[in-house]
Structure 1
Amino acid sequence: MTAKSSVRNSEYLSTLERGLSVLRAFSRERPEMSLSEVAVVTELSPAVARRCLHTLVELGYVAKRDKRFLLTAEVMSFASAYLESMNLEQAVRPHLQDVRDETGDSSSLAVFSDPDVLYLIHVSTNRMVRLAAGVGTRFPAHATSLGRILLAHMPKERTRDYVANTPLTRFTDRTIVDRKRLAQILKQAAQNDYASVKDELDYGIVSVAVPVRAGNGDVIAAINCSTATSRVESDEMRDTRLPVLRRAARAIEIELQRYPVLVNSITAAALS
């Protein structure tokens, strides 16, 4: 539970929070869990975890096989409702597809979801990579080009707080975990208006990202290109992909003017 959740208004439903925490406990590393495992991950008592799980089973969002629980496809209805109600696919995907077609790289749009980046749209290629992304994928912001450009354009005090207090996991021997160096990288990204990463989230992956702005100039999202280092080196990635990404970002920004509710939704998530 985050510090901001310490003060609740009278309408807050802690039971709903607990149920959602159970849904969020499942991941690629934990596709199915026992009751005791769910209790440990969510930091709920076994009795509360059991009630949440059995309620979710009754609602069809969780299934039980023997003594283990797993998500059902019904949870996808939440993502579908968001994508459809916000017109996200119509506003963004065609421009990311243009990026993919022109570069041969995968392309994504993501927003900041402390302490990660959260992928909202992903257009892939046929090339196999170890770290596949999709709608709802989360990666630590400090190790990704998307995360770095979003961090770079946050209010300075929020960027400083992230750098000073967020655990910086090392994924490879090239992952930047030195806080002073990360602060310098973010400062440079803000000045250059792009961020690039190579071999930091995983070996063999290079990416570059640019911001997407709302009508008032605030950065609300970011888009990137990502590909294998065997195809292109960092300098070439920057020189050849940046013009393509910046055209796509501008096209998305123009498109977003038609969907103010989507802009409000993304902005609210970024500020939460």
Structure 2
Amino acid sequence: MKDKDPEYLTTLERGLTVLRSFNKSQPEMQLSEVAAATNLSPAVARRCLNTLVALGYVTRSGKKFLLTPEVLVFGSAFLASASIDSVIGEHLQRVRDETGDSSSISVLSGEDILYLAHIPTNRHIRLNAGVGTRFPAHATSMGKVMLAHLPGDKLDDYLHRAELKRFTDLTVTSPDTLRKQLVEIREKGYCSVLSELDYGLVSIAVPVYDDNGNVLAAINCSTAASRIAQDELVRTRMPLLKQASQQIQHSLNKWPVLLHSLLRL
């Protein structure tokens, strides 16, 4: 589609690709590393980096490039304009208050889930999450719920391109096994995951729909497996999550800006 659109700016795409190449595992990189991470030539990567430095979104220390706090303006503008706290936060907060578990909402972004809101638990867990956090979809309850509702061609595309990385001995890394699991998840209407992203982490997630039955996002409860057994988590948390999902769906109809943003993802 983009190749046929005369209005599509390849230069802008390259600049955004460079920005997105910086992450937790690569917070600072040399030019050669940026070029490798983005599949851009060193000359193109250098021009993108120099432009981003001039605009204030990237800085450099010696031969290393790194993001500046100025990039936060993009995320904060979306959060402010979409009123996520007003539309979603109160429902997640209610789930957290009734269960003591952390509660989150995320959307599918490429091969990852992307957190839009997160209400943390007071208990310590090894994997911290927040707005903007990304985790591989195949190892999370929210990710699997959303993957389970993808149209067949999009699921095929995901399984073809995704790296099903192993995080624990229980992480599902076989495309065939994952596909079978997703069929079961779609039939059940929820997903519970134990020790797939990290040992001792248990979670349950349900989808968030729009009025036409499209899955917009997923919400979850997550806690330590030492605190509650997986079957007990499912029994006690699923009714609360389904209620919160319905409330969020109803609230989204009152906030067309956020609803439209989720529909475009």
| Fold equivalence (TM over 0.5) | yes
**Aligned-partner Cα distance in 1 for 2:29–2:158:** 31
Deviations 1:225-254 (A, max 9, x none): 111111112101101111111111111111
What is the aligned counterpart of 1:187 among 183, 190, 206? 183
- Secondary structure of 1:139's partner? strand
Match of 2:138 in 1: 142
What is the aligned counterpart of 1:213 among 209, 220, 240? 209
Is the aligned partner of 1:97 residue 2:93? Answer: yes
**Aligned-partner Cα distance in 2 for 1:40–1:46:** 8
Q: How far is the alpha carbon of 1:158 from its aligned partner?
A: 2.4
What is the correspondence of 1:220-231 to structure 2 with a 5 Å cutoff? 220-231=216-227
What is the correspondence of 1:16-27 to structure 2 with a 5 Å cutoff? 16-27=12-23
**Aligned-partner Cα distance in 1 for 2:225–2:128:** 15
Match of 2:50 in 1: 54
Structure 2 letter corresponding to 1:95: H
Is the aligned partner of 1:81 residue 2:77? Answer: yes
Is the aligned partner of 1:170 residue 2:166? Answer: yes
Match of 2:28 in 1: 32
What is the aligned counterpart of 1:233 among 223, 229, 232? 229
What is the aligned counterpart of 1:158 among 154, 159, 162? 154
Q: How far is the alpha carbon of 1:109 from its aligned partner?
A: 0.5
What is the correspondence of 1:65-76 to structure 2 with a 5 Å cutoff? 65-76=61-72
Q: How far is the alpha carbon of 1:164 from its aligned partner?
A: 4.9
Q: State which drifts further: 125-134 or 231-240.
A: 125-134
- Secondary structure of 1:126's partner? coil
**Aligned-partner Cα distance in 1 for 2:161–2:20:** 23
Match of 2:104 in 1: 108
Deviations 1:81-108 (A, max 9, x none): 1111122221001111111111111111
Q: How many residue pairs get matched?
A: 265
Q: State which drifts further: 130-139 or 237-246.
A: 130-139
- Secondary structure of 2:264's partner? helix
Deviations 1:138-187 (A, max 9, x none): 11111110011111122233234433553311111101112222122111
Q: CA RMSD in A?
A: 1.4
**Aligned-partner Cα distance in 2 for 1:188–1:257:** 30
**Aligned-partner Cα distance in 2 for 1:239–1:11:** 51
Structure 2 letter corresponding to 1:139: F
Structure 1 letter corresponding to 2:171: T
Identity across the alignment (%):
54
**Aligned-partner Cα distance in 2 for 1:162–1:14:** 24
**Aligned-partner Cα distance in 1 for 2:178–2:149:** 14
**Aligned-partner Cα distance in 1 for 2:152–2:11:** 35
Structure 1 letter corresponding to 2:181: I
- Secondary structure of 2:171's partner? coil
Distance 1:39 1:162, change over 3 A: closer
**Aligned-partner Cα distance in 2 for 1:162–1:53:** 30
Match of 1:244 in 2: 240
Structure 1: unaligned runs, 5 residues or longer: none
**Aligned-partner Cα distance in 1 for 2:88–2:262:** 13
**Which consecutive aligned stretches of 4+ in structure 1 deviate over 4 angstroms post-superposition?**
none
Distance 1:140 1:243, change over 3 A: same
**Aligned-partner Cα distance in 2 for 1:161–1:112:** 14
- Secondary structure of 2:182's partner? helix
**Aligned-partner Cα distance in 2 for 1:207–1:177:** 19
**Aligned-partner Cα distance in 2 for 1:143–1:165:** 16
